[in-house]
């Protein structure tokens, strides 16, 4: 079905319509072989509060953005390669039902659908596209994922020291490694995680010690391997 639609006029028109809705702020989406399979509004759990986002499922990427005028104007476009995606079904909370997590190496986040059926359909279509892509490329499913950020409202105190209370003056920060909400004193360190960013990122003190220990271990392993390599 996907291959059959790839070079059709209707598919080209649908992709062009999505590009037009994002306008100059979005990336070009029309490439040979790409098919738009479906679209819908999902609620994304954001740092401050859950917000509706428009999602477009293509046979190789997932695109989402903020809704300015539904069906007419979107912005803040994000493009996720499907071969980097794994999915995890999550239990309901009091505020959010029909939830699941979209996990990638750069960013992981939680979304919820309007109904259980809608969630099943989204997950089923996504998993089918991911399977098809991986079988074509011969790649293994992704195993490294960025931690999802815990929403600000989930805690009033630092999740590391459990002493500092957040207020208008005492800001919340997020550790980029574990996603915990932490105070400034518990997240003074920065660490370079090339998978997430070319710049060193804020991490909590616990993650900093763990990352440092991992780096030392890697260094000592590579040094011992070098010392054992035969000399000519």
For 146-182, how does the pLDDT look when each residue is reduced to its tens digit (9 = 90+)? 999 998 988 999 999 999 999 999 999 999 999 999 9
User: What confidence score (pLDDT) does residue 4 get?
Assistant: 74
pLDDT of 207 reads 95
The percentage of residues in the chain with a pLDDT greater than 90, rounded to a whole number, is: 76
pLDDT range class, residue 18, cuts 50, 70, 90: very high
Mean pLDDT across 50-55: 96
- pLDDT recorded at residue 221: 78
The model's confidence at residue 227, banded by pLDDT at 50, 70 and 90, is: low
Q: How confident is the model at residue 26 (pLDDT cuts 50, 70, 90)?
A: very high
CATH second-level architecture of 149-231?
2-Layer Sandwich (3.30)
> If you average pLDDT over residues 98-103, what whole number do you get?
96
Please tell me the predicted confidence (pLDDT) of residue 141.
83
- pLDDT of 196: 85
Percentage of residues in the chain with pLDDT exceeding 70? 95
| Radius of gyration, CA atoms only, the chain | 21
143 pLDDT tier (thresholds 50, 70, 90)? confident
Phi, psi of 18 (to 5 degrees): -65, -45
Residues 6+ apart with CB under 8 A from 47: 149, 151, 152, 174
pLDDT at 85 over 80: yes
Q: What is the DSSP-derived secondary structure letter of residue 144?
A: -
Task: Pick the more confident residue, 137 or 202.
Answer: 202
* Mode of pairing for the β-strands spanning 61-69 and 50-58: antiparallel
Look at residue 195 in the predicted model and tell me its pLDDT.
83
Domain covering 3-137: architecture: Roll (2.30)
Contact (CB, 8 A) for 166 and 185: no
What is the reported pLDDT for 34? 94
Query: How high is the mean pLDDT of the chain?
Result: 91
Q: What is the distance in angstroms between the CA of the first residue and the CA of the last residue of the chain? A: 58
**Is residue 3 predicted with pLDDT exceeding 90?**
no
- Outline which parts of the chain fall under CATH 3.30.40.10: 149-231
Has residue 121 got a pLDDT over 60? yes
CA distances from 170 to 39, 129, 181, 190 (A): 40, 44, 12, 20
Confidence of residue 1 (pLDDT cuts 50, 70, 90): low
Q: Reply yes or no on whether the pLDDT at 219 is more than 90.
A: no
pLDDT over 80 (residue 229): no
């Amino acid at each position: 079905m996907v291959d059959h639609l790839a070079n059709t006029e209707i598919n080209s028109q649908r992709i062009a319509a999505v590009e037009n809705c994002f306008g100059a702020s979005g990336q070009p989406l029309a490439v040979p072989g790409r098919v738009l399979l479906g679209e819908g509004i999902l609620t994304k759990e954001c740092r401050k509060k859950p917000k509706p986002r428009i999602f477009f499922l293509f046979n190789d990427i997932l695109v989402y953005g903020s809704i300015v005028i539904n069906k007419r104007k979107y912005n803040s476009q994000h493009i996720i390669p499907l071969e980097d995606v794994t999915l995890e079904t999550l239990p309901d909370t009091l505020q959010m039902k029909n939830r699941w997590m979209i996990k990638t190496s750069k960013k992981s986040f939680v979304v919820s659908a309007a109904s259980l059926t809608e969630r099943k359909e989204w997950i089923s279509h996504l998993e089918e596209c991911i399977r098809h892509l991986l079988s074509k490329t011969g790649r293994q499913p992704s195993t490294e994922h960025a931690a999802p950020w815990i929403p600000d409202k989930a805690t009033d105190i630092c999740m590391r020291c459990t002493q500092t209370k957040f207020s208008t003056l005492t800001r919340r920060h997020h550790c980029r490694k574990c996603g915990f909400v932490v105070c400034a004193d518990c997240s003074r360190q920065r660490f370079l995680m090339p998978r997430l960013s070319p710049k060193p990122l804020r991490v909590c003190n616990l993650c900093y010690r763990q990352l440092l220990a991992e780096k030392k271990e890697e260094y000592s392993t590579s040094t011992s391997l070098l010392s054992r390599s035969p000399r000519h």
